[in-house]
Amino acid sequence: MTAPTSTGAGRPAPRRIGPFEVPAVGLGCMNLSHAYGVPPTPEAAERLLLTAVEEGVTHFDTAALYGFGTNEELVGRVLAGHRDRIVLASKCGMTGVDGKRVIDGRPETIRRTADEALARLRTDVIDVYYLHRLDRKVPVEESVGAMAELVTAGKVRALGMSEVSAVTLRRAHAVHPIAALQNEYSLWTRNPERGTLSATRELGVALVAFSPLARGFLTSAPPDFGALPAGDIRRSMPRFDADRYPANLTLRREVERIADDAGVTLAQLALAWVVSQEPHVVVIPGTRSVPHLRENLSVLDLAIPGEVLAAAGRVLNDGTVHGARYHEATLAEIDTERCGRAG
154: left (phi over 0), alpha (psi -120 to 50) or beta: left
| In contact, 130 and 161? CB cutoff 8 Å | yes
Distances (CA, A) of 64 to 70, 88, 125, 159, 264: 8, 13, 15, 15, 35
Eight-class DSSP state of 233: G
Q: 126 pairs with which residues across the strands?
A: 156
> How big is the chain, counted in residues?
343
Rounded distance between C-alpha atoms, residue 306 and residue 309, angstroms: 5
Amino acid making up residue 162: S
CB-based burial, 52-90: b 16+ in 10 Å, e otherwise: bbeeebbbbbbbbbbbbbbbbbbbbebbeebeeebbbbb
Query: Given 3-state DSSP classes, what are the helix, strand and coil percentages for the chain, each rounded to the nearest 5?
Result: 45, 15, 40
Of 36, 66, 129, 245, which is the active-site residue?
A: 66
Rounded distance between C-alpha atoms, residue 109 and residue 234, angstroms: 29
Query: Would you call 66 a catalytic residue per the annotation?
Result: yes
Phi and psi at residue 182, to the nearest 5°:
-105, 110
Q: Which of 49, 209, 180 is nearest to 121 (CA)?
A: 49
3-state secondary structure of 195: coil
Provide the 10 A C-beta neighbour count for residue 177. 15
Catalytic positions are: 66
